[in-house]
Amino acid sequence: MTQTDLDVAPKLGRRRDPSLDGTILDATLDVLAETGYDGMTIDMVAARAKAGKATVYRRWTSKPELVLDAVACMKYKDVDLSSLPDTGTLRGDLVAMIKPPSIRDSERKLKVMAGIVSMLTRSPELADAAYDALVAPRAAANRVFFQRAIDRGEIPADADIERLCMIGPAMASYRTLMLRKAVDREFLISVIDGVILPAAGVTATA
């Protein structure tokens, strides 16, 4: 290559690594869950992601923008509604969703919700993203379970599905946000047997 070639050759910058975006967003969620929105800084996120601060700012120009994307991306990690368990009973279906990986994921989401609660009233976009990522997926799964129960005659045809499907997410959120207690298997089953099934008109079995 001649000197002329070197003079006219394009100077390539560092290419953007798409995989780093996911790493930064995951790090953002971790920091949010630990420190909350007000305590979170871009420096913390960069350190957790093992990336430079400038690298983060090249992708997201502000903390609110980064948090909005991080919260929104959580909705893509939920179970496919077409693969939901079908045990033949409403209780069986609800209990089948209580698995260690799903409990850990739900607990992390609730901690993220606790971390962003100070921003929800100030940012309608973040509130919408939080609902879509943290509440809507589980409510959608519950909606499938209650409709199945209606179809097989297990609960009344006029059961208020929308109200029923929100009981679990609402109680889990209250336990995390207000009581600051873990949402574990024992708690979730107690909600199913003591609140959800009676509200739906079903008597829980042992």
Fold equal for 18-73 and 78-200: no
Domain locations in the chain as residue ranges: 18-73, 78-200
Tokens found for residue 144: 């499938």
pLDDT tens digits in sequence order for the chain, 206 residues long? 444 443 333 333 344 566 789 999 999 999 998 999 999 999 999 999 999 999 999 999 999 999 999 998 886 555 678 889 999 999 999 999 998 777 777 788 888 888 888 888 888 898 898 888 878 888 899 999 999 999 999 999 999 999 999 999 889 888 887 888 888 899 999 999 999 999 999 864 54
Give the pLDDT score at 12. 36
Instruction: Judge whether 176 and 103 are in contact, CB under 8 Å.
Output: no
Tokens found for residue 61: 């120009």
Assigned CATH for 78-200: 1.10.357.10
CATH architecture, domain defined by 18-73: Orthogonal Bundle (1.10)
Three-state SS letters, 75-92: HHHCCCHHHCCCCCCHHH
What is the three-class DSSP state of 102? helix
